[in-house]
Structure 1
Amino acid sequence: MLAFLTEWYKTRFSDPQAITLMFIIIGIGLALYFGAGLLAPLLVALVLAFLLEWPVAQMSRLGISRTAAATIVLVVFLGLMLILLLGLVPSIWRQGVSLVTDLPTMIDKGMLIVREFSADYPQFVSASQLDSMMEEVNKMLDTQHLLDLGKQLLGYSASLLVLMVYAILVPLLVFFFLKDKDQLLSGSKRFFPANRDLARTVWFEMDQQIFNYIRGKVIEIVIVGVVSYIFFAVMGLRYSALLGVLTGLSVLIPYVGATLVTLPIALVAFFQWGFSAEFGYLMLGYGIIQALDGNVLVPLLFSDAVDLHPVVIIAAVLVFGGLWGVWGVFFAIPLASLVKAVINAWPNASSPKVALDNE
């Protein structure tokens, strides 16, 4: 056993570049795990700068200075975000307030249906189970629960102040990342070991894949959200803007997000129409949207960016989402692709050494 472990160690860790790659990955992983909260504005700015680098680079090739290109791209991007927020957020807020206001009525209607079902089929829902359900509902609607909800909303108000600070810091960081990209990259090299050619090989393999994935995911969110909102609005579904946004954001979690967002859509449609033709048409149309997203849009957008088995994708969402929350879910597929690239590039006894390049 000891001889086997010794041979395995020599095979996998005899290359100094492999050791360097391992330490770089571990160091970045530990920094993200323990410092993600403190570094949140920096990480957000890095992601945005990574996405906006392409138009800045294209403008630089046309002879425009990086400072001017970064300014133009950032102003256009912030303008589009401002238009989106001013046009979308008020509608979502109004529909969210309306949903909270109508929630007690919807719960009463739901409990009436459950009572009728219990009376007709007592073998499935007994009277004691119905009483337990009523107690839980009453706890949700009692005064203390509402007070706790108010405290949570106050906490969210404090979070809004933090978001306002981020709204100032993040654009400034994005501007400097875009304007001084070469200078910042050159200065950061001193913090990495000199023998990092294998790490560079992995990065060059991942660079375009990460960009394609993030760009494709943003496009998918917009398309699915807009199409879902239009369909819900045409059908006359209540809270169509809110549910459309939820449907668009559900694509962040592959395979699982669509399942989670189906429940509120089905419940709202049921409380609005009951088991009627409109309910059937809505669920059929929603199913068609999800099928077109999974079988047409996703292969079209991610054909070159994602080459992972669905089981690997779901496992990556669970692992990285548990580690880093929403950001872990968003970057689960790129991180899984990174793990795959490292495994493929990791040297062994029979693989050739990575050629050293002059920097």
Structure 2
Amino acid sequence: MIRTLRSLAHKYFSDEEAVILFLILVTGTVFVILFGAMLAPAIASLIIAFILQGLVTKLNKLGVGETVSILGVFLVFLGILVGFLFGLLPLVWTQVSALAGEAPRIIRGLQSYLELLPEQYPHLISAEAVSTVYQQVSTEVGQFTQWLVSFSLSSIPDLVALLIYMVLVPILVFFFLKDRKVLLGAVARLLPPQRPMMLQIWHEVNLQCANYVRGKALEILIVGGVTYIAFKFLGMPYAALLSLLVGLSVVIPYIGAAVVTIPVAVIALFAFGWGSQFIWIMVIYGIIQALDGNVLVPVLFSEVNNLHPVVIIVAVLFFGGIWGLWGVFFAIPLATMLKAVFSAWPVKDSLPLPETEKQ
């Protein structure tokens, strides 16, 4: 056992820089797990500044000054934030409340559809199975409605915290953008002066993760915006709520689109029935999903290394289980970071066996 541990230590931790990097990764992970909720505004601000820095860099390459670029990008961010808080968020909340009020009617309509299935397909579906499904759906909808009412009654402390976050986050984003070089220099002084492996990993992670995060944020805006325009034009109820769900669904590859298709189809079915309007909505929705997967994604993520679908799904499950929605959103960047770390990690040959063991 001791000999095996010595061999592993020699193979993977004989380089001093590897030991330091390992300690940094472990310490950072423990720190985020223990204090992530407390430092959520700072972490969110750092992520937003990381996304916006790409726009600042592009403006600098076009000849725009550093200060003007930072102020311009920051004002655009404030405009989007104000539009989300005072435009989209109240509209989505209103539609969520309306949908909760419509839940009993939808449940009754679902019951009428389910009751016809045993008559049409008696060999495949039994009346008992339909009754079980109906009871489960009714229970879930009842719990959701109860949660919605309790949430609205106890949301005042959360609103106060949200207001505090809305003040802190823009301030922190501005200073992260303005003093980026100073902050990075302060962190660099804590690291060894000779750090080729860390620089290689940083270059890879910065390139891959920055492209992915910025591309994914842009993809959410484009897919959600186009879906809202299409649903509004077709008279789809709860267009803002559904378009927000469709936009956020691109965060989870392979799974998100399939899951969000269910509420889109159900609401369209109960709003328009089995008619041409329902078919048009599903066709347009399918076209949006096809254009997203075959046109938008290749354009936005042309510089991002593709991960195997199994790796993506495992990363989404693992990091989503640890950090919730943030973990789901950053599952692929975190998996890319781990891939870069493993690729750059120095590995030496195993220790030679002693002469006694060779004999």
Please indicate the TM-score interval, normalised by the length of the shorter structure: 0.7 to 0.9
Preserved CA contact (<8 Å) 1:21 1:196: no
Matches within 5 A, 1:30-69: 30-57=30-57, 64=65, 66=67
Q: Secondary structure at 2:348's aligned position in 1?
A: coil
What is the CA-CA distance between 1:155 and the residue it aligns to? Answer: 3.6
Deviates more, 1:26-35 or 1:196-205: 196-205
What is the CA-CA distance between 1:25 and the residue it aligns to? Answer: 1.0
Query: How far apart in 2 are the matches of 1:59 and 1:280?
Result: 44
Counterpart AA for 1:9: A
Counterpart AA for 2:248: L
Establish whether residue 150 from structure 1 lines up as the match of residue 149 from structure 2.
yes
Query: How far apart in 1 are the matches of 2:146 and 2:48?
Result: 38
What is the CA-CA distance between 1:117 and the residue it aligns to? Answer: 2.5
The residue aligned with 1:356 is none
Matches within 5 A, 1:230-269: 230-269=229-268
Query: How far apart in 1 are the matches of 2:55 and 2:287?
Result: 34
Deviates more, 1:240-249 or 1:78-87: 78-87
Query: How far apart in 1 are the matches of 2:138 and 2:28?
Result: 48
Query: How far apart in 1 are the matches of 2:296 and 2:71?
Result: 32
Preserved CA contact (<8 Å) 1:306 1:333: no
Q: Percent identity?
A: 42
Preserved CA contact (<8 Å) 1:16 1:195: no
Gaps of 5+ in 1: 351-359
Counterpart AA for 1:222: L
* Superposed CA offset, 1:61-106 (max 9, x none): 858564x654443233202321344332333233222212221111
Counterpart AA for 2:90: P
What is the CA-CA distance between 1:116 and the residue it aligns to? Answer: 2.6
Establish whether residue 280 from structure 1 lines up as the match of residue 284 from structure 2.
no
The residue aligned with 2:108 is 108
Query: How far apart in 2 are the matches of 1:296 and 1:341?
Result: 27
Query: How far apart in 2 are the matches of 1:190 and 1:16?
Result: 17
* Superposed CA offset, 1:145-186 (max 9, x none): 865542233344432221111001111111222222233233
Query: How far apart in 2 are the matches of 1:82 and 1:120?
Result: 52
The residue aligned with 2:353 is none
RMSD: 2.7
The residue aligned with 2:182 is 183
Preserved CA contact (<8 Å) 2:212 2:301: yes
What is the CA-CA distance between 1:281 and the residue it aligns to? Answer: 2.7
Gaps of 5+ in 2: 350-359
Deviates more, 1:85-94 or 1:31-40: 85-94
What is the CA-CA distance between 1:38 and the residue it aligns to? Answer: 0.8
Counterpart AA for 1:208: L
The residue aligned with 1:224 is 223
Q: Secondary structure at 1:303's aligned position in 2?
A: coil
Establish whether residue 323 from structure 1 lines up as the match of residue 294 from structure 2.
no
Counterpart AA for 1:245: L
Counterpart AA for 1:18: A
Q: Secondary structure at 2:237's aligned position in 1?
A: coil
Preserved CA contact (<8 Å) 1:12 1:348: yes
What is the CA-CA distance between 1:274 and the residue it aligns to? Answer: 2.3
* Superposed CA offset, 1:281-338 (max 9, x none): 3222222211221122111111212321111111111111111111111111111110
Counterpart AA for 1:28: G
Change (3 A) 1:344 1:130: closer
Query: How far apart in 2 are the matches of 1:308 and 1:139?
Result: 39
Change (3 A) 1:8 1:65: closer
Q: Secondary structure at 1:200's aligned position in 2?
A: helix
Preserved CA contact (<8 Å) 2:100 2:145: no
TM-score where L is the length of structure 2 = 0.86
Change (3 A) 1:58 1:114: closer
Deviates more, 1:193-202 or 1:23-32: 193-202
What is the CA-CA distance between 1:54 and the residue it aligns to? Answer: 3.8
Preserved CA contact (<8 Å) 2:269 2:278: yes
What is the CA-CA distance between 1:57 and the residue it aligns to? Answer: 5.0
Matches within 5 A, 1:4-83: 5-57=5-57, 64=65, 66=67, 70-83=70-83
TM-score where L is the length of structure 1 = 0.86
Q: Secondary structure at 1:339's aligned position in 2?
A: helix
Counterpart AA for 2:31: A
The residue aligned with 2:205 is 206
Change (3 A) 1:228 1:139: closer
Query: How far apart in 2 are the matches of 1:278 and 1:294?
Result: 24
Preserved CA contact (<8 Å) 1:95 1:239: yes
Change (3 A) 1:292 1:74: same
Preserved CA contact (<8 Å) 2:56 2:66: no
Establish whether residue 170 from structure 1 lines up as the match of residue 164 from structure 2.
no
Counterpart AA for 1:341: A
Query: How far apart in 1 are the matches of 2:42 and 2:14?
Result: 35
User: How many aligned positions are there?
Assistant: 348
Counterpart AA for 1:33: I
Query: How far apart in 2 are the matches of 1:87 and 1:149?
Result: 21
Preserved CA contact (<8 Å) 2:56 2:70: yes
Counterpart AA for 1:186: G
Preserved CA contact (<8 Å) 2:74 2:174: yes
Deviates more, 1:181-190 or 1:162-171: 181-190
Q: Secondary structure at 1:252's aligned position in 2?
A: coil
